[in-house]
C-alpha cells in the first residue's frame, strides 16, 4: 500500500508521480500520458480536486478548478474551444481571474 510520495506506472505508459494516502492519489501530483498530455495539480481520494493545470501534447494548457474529478471552471487556451455557456452552466460562485498585480 502506498502512503506518502511515490510513483506508479500503468502498462499503457501513463505515469503518476506525487503524494498518496491509503493507496490513492491525494495531495499534489503529476499524471502524464505517452502522447505528452499532463495534469499537474491536486488530488483527493484518487480524483482531481482543487487547482490544477492541464497541458496538451502540443504545449497548450489551461488552469482548472476541480471538485471530486469534475472540472468546474477553467482559464486558458483550452477555454477558447468551449461554448461560452459551459462555464455559466457550472457553479456560478467559481471564478478564475487573470487579475494579478504584476510589478
Report, as an integer, the average pLDDT of 92-99: 45
Q: Does 82 score more than 60 pLDDT?
A: no
Q: Which of 35, 82, 85, 20 is nearest to 64 (CA)?
A: 82
Cα(48)–Cα(66) distance, integer angstroms = 6
- C-alpha distances in Å from residue 84, one per residue of 1, 71, 76, 95, 98: 43, 15, 13, 14, 17
Residues forming a β-bridge with 47: 44
Tens digit of each residue's pLDDT (9 = 90 or more) over 64-80: 999 999 998 888 764 44
Contact 3, 21 (CB under 8 A): yes
pLDDT at 76: 75
Q: Does 84 score more than 60 pLDDT?
A: no
Q: At 76, phi and psi to the nearest 5? A: 140, -165
Report, as an integer, the average pLDDT of 26-39: 96
Domains and CATH numbers, the chain: 4-89 (2.20.110)
Amino acid at each position: 500500500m502506498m502512503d506518502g510520495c511515490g510513483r506508479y506506472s500503468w502498462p499503457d505508459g501513463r505515469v503518476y508521480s506525487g503524494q498518496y494516502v491509503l493507496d490513492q492519489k491525494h495531495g499534489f501530483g503529476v499524471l502524464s500520458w505517452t502522447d505528452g498530455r499532463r495534469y499537474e495539480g491536486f488530488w483527493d481520494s484518487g480524483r482531481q480536486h482543487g487547482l490544477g493545470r492541464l497541458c496538451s501534447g502540443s504545449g497548450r494548457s489551461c488552469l482548472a478548478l476541480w471538485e471530486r474529478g469534475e472540472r468546474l471552471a477553467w482559464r486558458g487556451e483550452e477555454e477558447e474551444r468551449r461554448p461560452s455557456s459551459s462555464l455559466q452552466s457550472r457553479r456560478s460562485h467559481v471564478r478564475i481571474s487573470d487579475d494579478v498585480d504584476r510589478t
